[in-house]
Amino acid sequence: MLKGIHPAISPNLLKILAEMGHGDELVLSDAHFPAHQLHQKVLRADGLGVDTLLTAISPLFEFDAYVDAPLIMMQAVEGDSLDPNVEARYLQAIKSSVGSVPNLTRIDRFAFYDRAKQAYAVVVTGETAKYGNIIIKKGVTPVS
């Protein structure tokens, strides 16, 4: 175990985060997401909610400041509805970790799947909330 690293971050996830470059995207998916069908690089985080991973990742991850929205979620399919508490939980997890929240946008289901195919990796969580998937886009880490 490392000091200062949230215990929800596995060694494999830490490696993925370190390997990612600016502009790379990471999918944090719910338990129902077809990750293995869409992507070759899939990590498992069973038992963890997406909000827990966002709390853990956010202090280590610079969100892309050169795009309008470095957070992407799935729109509800026509005739379906979103639970606003899901998005609120995710944004609160980021805010509690880093003090602010980058912009978020929503895209349709199949556009989300296409984007997931191009992501650096997919992390399948134990999240059971409907439309509980989010893509986070990595930015340039500032030099201090």
Closest CA to 120 of 45, 5, 36, 21: 21
Catalytic residue selected from 22, 32, 36, 39: 22
Tell me the binding residues.
Answer: 30, 109, 131-133
Residue 22 annotated in active site: yes
In sequence order, which ranges of the chain are alpha helices (DSSP H)? 11-19, 35-38, 50-57, 84-98, 109-118
Going by the annotation, the residues of the binding site for substrate are 30, 109, 131-133
DSSP letter at 9 equals S
Q: Which residues are catalytic?
A: 22
